[in-house]
Amino acid sequence: MYENSLYSNPLQFGFKNNASCSHALLGFTEAIQYYTKRGNKVFCAFLDASKAFDKVLLNGLLAKLINRNVPLPLVRVLYN
């Protein structure tokens, strides 16, 4: 019903059909192998964002949803 309004980057794996942590790990592993086989160094950093959703600014989130033309009834449901 709201699929056209709610979309995300194709490289995001969480909360999507037919995507999981395994898919993200496969992409990560393949990228590391690609660069190391070519003699490059690979550096990575990890971020624990488990508490990030406790810090979301509600007004900013609602503004972004409205700017993406998410139907107002859905925005109201999320707000309430």
Q: What is the mean pLDDT of residues 14-35?
A: 88
Task: Reply yes or no on whether the pLDDT at 40 is more than 90.
Answer: yes
Task: Reply yes or no on whether the pLDDT at 22 is more than 80.
Answer: yes
Same domain, residue pair 5 and 29: yes
Q: What is the mean pLDDT of residues 3-8?
A: 74
Same domain, residue pair 39 and 74: no
Q: Please give the pLDDT value at position 56.
A: 73
73 burial type by CB count under 10 A (0-12 exposed, 13-18 middle, 19+ buried): exposed
Q: What's the chain's average pLDDT?
A: 85
Same domain, residue pair 3 and 33: yes
Q: Name the domain count of the chain.
A: 2
Q: What is the rounded distance in angstroms from the CA atom of residue 48 to the CA atom of residue 13?
A: 16
Give residue 15's pLDDT band: very low, low, confident or very high (50, 70, 90): confident
Q: Which amino acid is at 44?
A: C
pTM of full prediction above 0.85: no
